[in-house]
């Protein structure tokens, strides 16, 4: 009985990134889709057969991934000759709800003080 089934179908964003990642310096390079992160917070790509990895290549990859609204994390595994790329969704900064509540309470207090003061006058 299945508890959870991992999704293995490539999303269109992943497919576009893989297509755009072609590199003239690495003609044998192969980019594979490894799967999704827990809770759909992005996905992982694995680059095999890479012969030349320099700053230009990594920067190019970063730009491609960032342009799709994802945060890249590039990790080279030299022992196995591959590069792991984690494409994470950029988490939206949570609004500071606590701060908003304080402002609201403070303004209510000020209004009440003003009402009391005006009645005394």
Q: Is 98 in the site for other proteins (CB under 8 A)?
A: no
In our burial notation (b when 16+ CB lie closer than 10 A, e otherwise), range 20-49 reads ebebeebeebebebeebeeeeebbbbbbee
Closest CB 71 distance from other proteins, rounded Å: 13
Helix axes 55-67, 12-20, angle to 10 degrees: 150
Taking CB under 8 A as the binding criterion, the range among 28-36, 49-57, 62-70, 94-102 that sits at the site for other proteins is: 28-36
Residue 46's φ and ψ, nearest 5 degrees, are: -125, 130
Q: How many of the chain's residues bind other proteins (CB under 8 A)?
A: 17
Among 54, 55, 79, 117, binds other proteins (CB under 8 A): 79
Taking CB under 8 A as the binding criterion, the range among 23-31, 33-41, 61-69, 111-119 that sits at the site for other proteins is: 33-41
Q: Is 34 in the site for other proteins (CB under 8 A)?
A: yes
Q: Is 28 in the site for other proteins (CB under 8 A)?
A: no
Among 10, 37, 68, 82, binds other proteins (CB under 8 A): 37
Residue 26's φ and ψ, nearest 5 degrees, are: -125, 75
**Cβ neighbour number for residue 11 with a 10 Å cutoff:** 14
């Amino acid at each position: 009985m299945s508890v959870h089934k991992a999704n293995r179908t490539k999303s269109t964003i992943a497919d576009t990134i893989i297509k755009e990642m072609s590199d003239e310096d690495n003609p044998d390079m192969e980019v594979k889709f490894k799967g999704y992160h827990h809770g759909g917070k992005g996905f992982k790509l694995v680059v095999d057969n890479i012969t030349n990895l320099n700053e230009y290549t990594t920067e190019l990859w970063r730009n491609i991934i960032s342009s799709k609204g994802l945060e890249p994390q590039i990790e080279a595994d030299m022992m196995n000759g591959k590069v792991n790329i984690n494409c994470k969704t950029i988490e939206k900064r949570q609004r500071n709800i606590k701060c908003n509540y304080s402002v609201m309470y403070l303004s209510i207090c000020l209004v009440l003080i003003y009402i009391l003061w005006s009645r005394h006058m």
